[in-house]
Amino acid sequence: MLKLGIIGAGIMGERLARAAREQAADRVAIVGVWDPSAAAMARFGAAVPDTPHAGSAAALIAASDCVYVASPPASHLGHARAALDAGKALFCEKPLGVDLAESRAFVSAHRGARAAVNFPFASSLAVARLAEWMAAIGPPRTLTIDVAFRVWPRPWQHDAAAWLDRPAEGGFTREVVSHFLFLARRLLGPLALVEQLVRYPDDGASERDIRARLSAGEVAVNLTGNVGNTPKDDHNAWTLRGDGGAIRLRDWSFAERQLADGTWQADADALPNERMRPVVLNRQLDGVAKMARGEAHHLATIQEAFDVQQIVEAILAG
């Protein structure tokens, strides 16, 4: 039984705690949660009752076998170092960090540690299906990544707007685009930024529009993201084309193949994201348990997370 402690009493901490309790209670025990905000702790207590509340981050780390860091991004590496220095395993929310020099030093110092980063596409059944289909489209030629939001932050993220809509550590590129860059990194290899454009039209707020050209080996990657140009709270598509056809991941969880007539056919086992998320979280927790035991696992490594962070921060610097 893995004793898992949670630093950060926001929505991500709540989701993982619920998944551990409802789907992985035979493998994972949540030993506590800690957040410096009393209001956040109260919300967490109402959402996930009977979870012990630790008195400090240090106390939580001491009680845990593995620490899940789900606090705002600027605090990730401080908590991550404390957990690893105490001999605990680490599962960190993405992004790994917001300062490239600090993240680079962290990865260098902890290479080989029992540590992973929460990119759920590592456990996605839809992504596994895309990987199976890749051979059928031949050598990949182009990748298109499109993300769009009605508003930012999304309605369910309102409580985190104080940092999530600030350029220092928030914005949709860090929070959402990073997932699709990780997917490209995992399936196609390291990414390189060719050119980019980013717009910050509102003083003190995060980006509202990005355009970027990248490469993944011989694959040309085109990325677009914007706020305010879609009626959907959240829309995204990751589309890979080869000489033999095209495949895509749409709206987080729909693996689709393009037919000869140009229409898209979803995988027979596809589910909307709200139904797929619990399955993915359960698979992530399986990976966390293996990682904490020092076994081989499928989770995102801290090196992969740093590679993604480098691209994200380069885009935002444009």
Mean pLDDT of the chain: 97
Class of domain 122-272+307-316: alpha beta
| pLDDT confidence tier of residue 114, bands split at 50, 70 and 90 | very high
| pLDDT confidence tier of residue 214, bands split at 50, 70 and 90 | very high
Exposed, middle or buried by CB within 10 Å (0-12, 13-18, 19+), for 196? middle
Fold identical between 2-118+279-298 and 122-272+307-316?
Answer: no
Convert the pLDDT of each residue in 284-299 to its tens digit. 999 999 999 999 999 9
Please state which CATH number belongs to domain 2-118+279-298: 3.40.50.720
Provide CB contacts within 8 A for 59, sequence distance 6+. Answer: 32, 34
Tell me the domain boundaries of the chain.
Answer: 2-118+279-298, 122-272+307-316
Hey, what amino acid is at 210?
A: I
Convert the pLDDT of each residue in 266-289 to its tens digit. 999 999 999 999 999 999 999 999
Q: Are 127 and 183 in contact (CB under 8 A)?
A: yes
